[in-house]
Structure 1
Amino acid sequence: MNPMIKNCACALTLIVVAACGLSACSDSGSGANADHGDGHAAEAPAVEKGEHNGRLLHDKNFTLELAIFETGVPPEYRAWALVDGKPIAPAEFSLQVRLTRLGNKIDTINFAPQGDALRGDSVIYEPHSFIVTVEANYKGNQHRWEYESFEGRTRIEPAVAEALEIATEIAGPALLKETIAVYGKVVPHPNLERDVQARFDGVVTDVQVTPGQTVEAGQALFTVESNESLKSYTVKAPIKGVLTVLHAKAGQQTGGKTLARILDNSRVSVELAVFPEHLNKVKTGAPVTLTFAGSTLESRIEQIALETNANQSVNARVTLDQPFPLGAMVKAQIQIDEYEVPLAVKRSGLQAFRDFTVVYAQIGDEYEVRMLELGREAGDWVEVLGGLEPGTTYVTENSFVIKADIEKSGASHDH
């Protein structure tokens, strides 16, 4: 089979399998007013709303309006009641709401009269995704309802998650290494480059090497006849390396000029340009990660120059104990700080949801948004200040698949 056709067939199979797995992941809501915020399976009936834009719950002649109120306050429940279609005072009935979140965590909310309504005593934290159990008491009569109010939640079968390469990790402490991106180039190591001159001026009588030739330390390069003594002496290579420059020619006066240049690139330096806004953060000995031609190397800052370049940058020097083409451009990350935080997540797992930055928590084969309060960022990690409990399993790779499924389903934020 043609490889291209085979690859396309495999991709199509994966899409079909994923679609089947993602489309079979919701349960029917319980209660007369089940609200399928995750949008899978049959579309839920429209929620009946009251004059306060809350959900209306009916039981014979008793009607409860329950709304999430968040004007000028953190989200909280407010409730109103009607008997035979007429409002009753909030002191005449009692109410309790239980929110069963993903993972069977239950929030119990009690109510007390305030103004013309009953006011819940707890903040309803994000996400507003739960099974809602409502129990009201009016003149000794109990009224009970239960319905689903999901948002940012979906179910993916384990086999499909594996096929889609959805990866997870457990949220916990992390060591953040803050870096800055810089650029530089490969230059000769200062101890491995030599300009060769004649010790005594005279006439070059013989040249024993050619440009580009590799020479050993102590190898004869050329012969010079001294102008003063008229005796000949041999100029030898001070180091091992390559003759990158050879100006010496037979019959030529040396005249104090550079006659040859020898370069050994078995070790090289990298000069990284650090600009003023970062200069006070870069220290000698700081770890550096260098990227060149697809390869990654680890080193440390060896020296920081005292002089400023024409573009106002300052060179930070790194030594590499291996040959590299001189003049090659290098990208680097210099570590400027390191600190441990009690809770962090991988940057690769972050997604946007409504006005929040989120990760997707995994419990069993269900995934649900967790709205994050974020702190410092460094490398692959982002500090979490709120919105996620330590020990939570969350998606680190291919979280966009979950986001796309939730957006496709039209996950609601129903109050």
Structure 2
Amino acid sequence: MNRYAFRLLLLCQMLLGALLLPSMAAAVSEPQAQEAEPEKGPHRGRMLRDGDLAVELAIFETGVPPEFRVWVTDNGQPVAPTDVDLQVQLTRLGNVVDAIGFSVEGDYLRGDTVIYEPHSFVVTLTAEYLGQTHRWEYDNLEGRTRIADAVAEAMGIATETAGGTTLHQTIRVYGKLVLPADARRQIQARFDGVIKQMHVKLGDAVSKGQLLATIESNESLKSYQIVSPMAGVVSQQFASGGEQTAGRSLLEITQTGTLLAELAVYPTDRNKVRTNAPVSLSINGFDEPLSSIVSGSRTALRGDQARLFLAEIDNADGLLAGGLFVAGDIEVETFAVPLAVKRSGLQSFRDFTVVYAKVGEEYEVRMLELGREAGPWVEVLGGLESGTEYVTENSYIIKADIEKSGASHDH
């Protein structure tokens, strides 16, 4: 078997494994899906029982940030919260531990720590009552799944480390390429006479100082030469050898080495654009964008109230031409942020915008508070720690796997 065939076989095996993953995961999770729902108490919290002692642990978030509240009963009768010593430990993904103490408030115990999102952790509750210690432990997982690294690689799931970056805020504009005002030059004879010879023809490229035509003066009958005042292309030919010059233009030379992008900016964005602002231009048929800067603008507004801002384009290779339509991104603001994520990694989860943090082979939602956007980046104001590895490509696969598992938000 040659090397190509071997690689093809290996790729097919990896893809087959990726396709089988959902069915395998479904088969594993099916018994869990059939498990009974946890018992709920009168305050819609989870009931934990040990003999006659029952503890109801609820996440309360009406008018306050999420916090634990606990009610205790013994043989069905309420227990005064002063008679119970309670501790809760939350072990999050990556072995991050939150220790929560409680104080008495009314007929319940109130936790002293905000239960931040995601509410995904292993809960360990210890209660001291009448000289006895009662202990419970259970999983309260949401927005979490496990995918083997080999399968994630086959599925194209990519990650990066979250950190600071510089955001370049841009506005999208459209326009076309035009020639500069001085790009065309009409060539005339200094003295009227007969065109003895045209040394160039339509479409010829010429250099500065190159011989264009030889003219015999009508008055002196002496010949003189016309040379090109600039480099360019013969874009028009108005006369031929043997004709009289007759005070008319003989040729037109057009310089094509530089073009201008005329970019329409409307009133809502007009005051944001500054001279020398960087511009990235995209043109149909060209794979890579062209870089330039704003060099100025037309003084008059168009009929639709747009102002045409100008950006020079190097066309030394002659591949571009006036009249081509362009799309551009003009940079209007640049700012450094301490934390940002790729827009490609964002997904929705419940009422949140999230990314998926990766710890080992496990992935879990991180609810984000977002700020400014620029290009492929979005500023993060809260919900994610700097240095977190998160999914940037094909995050929808993680979302689909989590939704399939049906992990609930247990209050």
TM-score bucket (shorter structure): 0.7 to 0.9
Q: Paired residue for 2:307?
A: 313
Q: Paired residue for 1:35?
A: none
User: How far off its partner does 1:204 sit?
Assistant: 5.2
User: How far off its partner does 1:62 sit?
Assistant: 0.9
Tell me, in whole angstroms, the C-alpha distance in 1 between the residues paired with 2:313 and 2:403: 50
Q: 1:339 aligns with which of 305, 315, 335?
A: 335
2:354 counterpart of 1:325 = no
Q: Which amino acid aligns with 1:366?
A: E
Q: Which amino acid aligns with 2:18?
A: A
Q: Is the 8 A contact 1:93 1:138 kept in 2?
A: yes
Cα gap change, 1:407/1:289 in structure 2, threshold over 3 Å: closer, same or farther? same
Q: 2:270 aligns with which of 274, 279, 288?
A: 279
Cα gap change, 1:86/1:286 in structure 2, threshold over 3 Å: closer, same or farther? same
Gap runs ≥5 in structure 2: 1-5
Tell me, in whole angstroms, the C-alpha distance in 1 between the residues paired with 2:43 and 2:408: 19
2:384 counterpart of 1:391 = no
Q: Paired residue for 1:157?
A: 148
Secondary structure at the aligned position of 2:404 is classed as: helix
Cα gap change, 1:196/1:308 in structure 2, threshold over 3 Å: closer, same or farther? farther
Q: Is the 8 A contact 1:21 1:157 kept in 2?
A: no
The CA deviation string for residues 311-358 of structure 1, in whole angstroms up to 9 with x for no partner, is 322222223153232122222222222111111111111111111111
Matches within 5 A, 1:121-200: 121-200=112-191
Q: Which amino acid aligns with 1:48?
A: E
Q: Paired residue for 1:266?
A: 257
Q: 2:345 aligns with which of 346, 349, 352?
A: 349
Q: Is the 8 A contact 2:278 2:293 kept in 1?
A: yes
User: How far off its partner does 1:145 sit?
Assistant: 0.6
Q: Paired residue for 1:366?
A: 362
Q: Is the 8 A contact 2:258 2:312 kept in 1?
A: no
Q: Paired residue for 1:34?
A: none
Q: Which amino acid aligns with 1:333?
A: D
User: How far off its partner does 1:390 sit?
Assistant: 1.1
Q: Is the 8 A contact 1:169 1:396 kept in 2?
A: yes
User: How far off its partner does 1:257 sit?
Assistant: 4.2
Q: Give the CA RMSD over aligned residues.
A: 3.0
Tell me, in whole angstroms, the C-alpha distance in 2 between the residues paired with 1:8 and 1:279: 54
User: How far off its partner does 1:210 sit?
Assistant: 2.6
Secondary structure at the aligned position of 2:32 is classed as: coil
Secondary structure at the aligned position of 2:99 is classed as: strand
Q: Which amino acid aligns with 2:345?
A: G
Q: Is the 8 A contact 1:373 1:387 kept in 2?
A: yes
Q: Paired residue for 2:17?
A: 17
Tell me, in whole angstroms, the C-alpha distance in 1 between the residues paired with 2:184 and 2:30: 70
Secondary structure at the aligned position of 1:324 is classed as: coil
Q: Is the 8 A contact 2:262 2:308 kept in 1?
A: no
User: How far off its partner does 1:273 sit?
Assistant: 2.5
TM-score, scaled relative to structure 1? 0.86
User: How far off its partner does 1:212 sit?
Assistant: 1.8
The CA deviation string for residues 3-61 of structure 1, in whole angstroms up to 9 with x for no partner, is xxx999988754541255567779x9xxxxxxxxxx67632321111111111111101
Q: How many residues align?
A: 401
User: How far off its partner does 1:223 sit?
Assistant: 4.8
Q: Which amino acid aligns with 2:353?
A: T
Q: Is the 8 A contact 2:87 2:99 kept in 1?
A: yes
User: How far off its partner does 1:369 sit?
Assistant: 0.5
Tell me, in whole angstroms, the C-alpha distance in 1 between the residues paired with 2:44 and 2:76: 16
Cα gap change, 1:278/1:226 in structure 2, threshold over 3 Å: closer, same or farther? farther
Q: Paired residue for 2:32?
A: 42
Q: Which amino acid aligns with 2:311?
A: R
Tell me, in whole angstroms, the C-alpha distance in 1 between the residues paired with 2:10 and 2:176: 44
User: How far off its partner does 1:114 sit?
Assistant: 1.8
Secondary structure at the aligned position of 1:259 is classed as: strand
The CA deviation string for residues 234-263 of structure 1, in whole angstroms up to 9 with x for no partner, is 433222322111122467665654432112
Q: Paired residue for 2:3?
A: none
Q: Is the 8 A contact 2:206 2:234 kept in 1?
A: yes
Q: Is the 8 A contact 2:279 2:311 kept in 1?
A: no
Tell me, in whole angstroms, the C-alpha distance in 1 between the residues paired with 2:30 and 2:385: 27
Tell me, in whole angstroms, the C-alpha distance in 1 between the residues paired with 2:80 and 2:121: 28
Q: Paired residue for 1:243?
A: 234
Q: 2:76 aligns with which of 85, 88, 91?
A: 85
Q: Is the 8 A contact 1:25 1:155 kept in 2?
A: no
Q: Is the 8 A contact 2:298 2:307 kept in 1?
A: no
Tell me, in whole angstroms, the C-alpha distance in 2 between the residues paired with 1:313 and 1:234: 44
Q: Is the 8 A contact 2:256 2:315 kept in 1?
A: no
